[in-house]
Chain A
Amino acid sequence: MAAGRDLDSYGAPGWLQAAPFALVFAAFFVLPLVFVVIVSFWDYNDYQMLPTFTTRSYVESFDGCLTDLPNLCTMFKTYVSTAKFCFIVWALTLVIGFTVAYFLAFYVRSATAQMTLFLVCTIPFWTSNVIRMISWIPLLGRNGLVNQLLVGAHVVDAPVEWLLYSPFSVALAFVHLFTFFMVAPIFNSMMRIDRRLMEAAYDAGASGWQMLTNVIIPLCKPGLAIGSIFVVTIVMGDFITFDEMGGEQIASAGKVIETRLGALQFPPAAANAVILLGATMLIIAVLNRIVDIRKEL
Chain B
Amino acid sequence: MTKRHTNAGAGVTRRNLLKAAGALAGAGAVSSFPAPAVWSAEEKVLRYLGTAVNQSDDITKKVKADTGITIQNIVATTDDVTKRVATQPNSFDILDTEYFSLKKLVPSGNILPMDAKKIKEFDNITPIFTKGQLPDGKVIGDQGTAPKKVMFLEGPHSKTFSKTPTEWVTLIPTVYNADTLGIRPDLIKRPIEHWAELLNPEFKGKAAILNIPSIGIMDAAMVVESLGKYKYPDKGNMTKPEIDMTVGVLTEAKKAGQFRAFWKDFNESVNLMASGETVIQSMWSPAVTAVRSKGIPCVFQPLKEGYRSWASGFCMSKGTTPKQQEWIYEFVNWYLSGWAGAYLNRQGYYSAVLSTAKANMEPYEWAYWMEGKPAEKDIHGPDGSLLEKAGAVRDGGSYDDRMGNVACWNAVMDENDYMVRKWNEFIAA
> A residues within 8 Å of B by Cβ?
46-48, 60, 63, 74, 77-78, 81, 137-138, 141-144, 161, 164-165, 243, 247-251, 255-256, 259-265
Contact = CB atoms under 8 A, between A and B. Distances in A.
Contacts of A265: 417, 420
Main secondary structure of the interface of A (DSSP, over half): loop
B412 A259 contact: no
Interface of B: 79, 82-83, 86, 103-105, 107-108, 205, 208, 211-214, 254, 259-264, 271, 275-277, 412, 416-417, 420-421, 423-425, 427-429
B86 A48 contact: yes
Contacts of B213: 259, 262-263
Contact of B425 (A74, A81, A165, A261): A74
Nearest to B414: A46
Given A48-B86, A161-B205, A249 B259 contact: yes
Main secondary structure of the interface of B (DSSP, over half): helix
B412 A46 contact: yes
A88 B51 CA distance: 38
A256 B427 CA distance: 9
Nearest to B105: A47
A259 B205 contact: no
B262 A247 contact: yes
A35 B39 CA distance: 44
A165 B105 contact: no
A261 B262 CA distance: 18
B428 A81 contact: yes
Nearest to B206: A142
Contacts of B416: 46, 263
Contacts of A74: 421, 424-425, 428
B275 A143 contact: yes
Contacts of A137: 271, 275
A265 to B, nearest CB: 6
Contacts of B205: 161
Given A47-B107, A264-B83, A77 B428 contact: yes
Contacts of B254: 249
Contacts of B107: 46-48
A141 B275 contact: yes
Given A251-B428, A262-B79, A48 B108 contact: yes
A92 to B, nearest CB: 24
B420 A47 contact: no
B108 A47 contact: yes
21 contacts: A46-B104, A46-B412, A74-B424, A74-B428, A137-B271, A141-B276, A142-B275, A143-B275, A144-B275, A161-B205, A247-B208, A247-B259, A247-B262, A249-B259, A249-B427, A259-B424, A261-B83, A263-B79, A263-B420, A264-B79, A264-B83
Given A249-B427, A255-B427, A264 B275 contact: no
Contacts of A264: 79, 82-83, 86, 104
Given A141-B275, A143-B276, A251-B428, 17 more contacts: A138-B275, A165-B261, A247-B262, A248-B211, A249-B254, A249-B259, A249-B262, A251-B424, A255-B424, A255-B427, A259-B423, A261-B79, A261-B83, A262-B79, A262-B83, A263-B417, A265-B417
A263 B412 CA distance: 10
B427 A248 contact: yes
Contacts of A141: 275-277
A249 B423 CA distance: 11
A263 to B, nearest CB: 5
A35 to B, nearest CB: 14
A248 B83 contact: no
A163 B104 CA distance: 41
A63 B421 contact: yes
Nearest to A82: B428
B250 to A, nearest CB: 11
B103 A259 contact: no
Contacts of B423: 259
A81 B425 CA distance: 13
A47 to B, nearest CB: 4
A252 to B, nearest CB: 9
A47 B428 contact: no
Contact of A247 (B86, B105, B261, B421): B261
A143 B272 CA distance: 11
Most buried by A among B263, B276, B421, B429: B421
Contacts of B277: 141-142, 164-165
Contacts of A78: 424, 428
Nearest to A61: B421
Most buried by B among A78, A144, A255, A259: A259
Nearest to A60: B421
A203 B64 CA distance: 82
B198 to A, nearest CB: 15
Most buried by B among A74, A78, A81: A74
A222 to B, nearest CB: 36
A271 B262 CA distance: 26
Contact of B104 (A47, A77, A143, A259): A47
B407 to A, nearest CB: 24
Rank and list the top 8 A-B pairs by shortest CB-CB distance, nearest first: A247-B261, A251-B428, A248-B262, A262-B79, A47-B104, A74-B425, A47-B108, A263-B420
A74 B262 CA distance: 19
Contacts of A142: 275-277
B261 A260 contact: no
Nearest to A259: B424
A256 B104 CA distance: 21
B409 to A, nearest CB: 17
Nearest to B261: A247
A239 to B, nearest CB: 11
B263 A248 contact: yes
A165 B427 contact: no
Nearest to B204: A161
Contacts of A263: 79, 213-214, 416-417, 420
A137 B214 CA distance: 28
Contact of B261 (A46, A63, A77, A248): A248
Most buried by A among B104, B254, B417: B417
Contacts of A48: 86, 107-108
Contacts of B417: 46, 263, 265
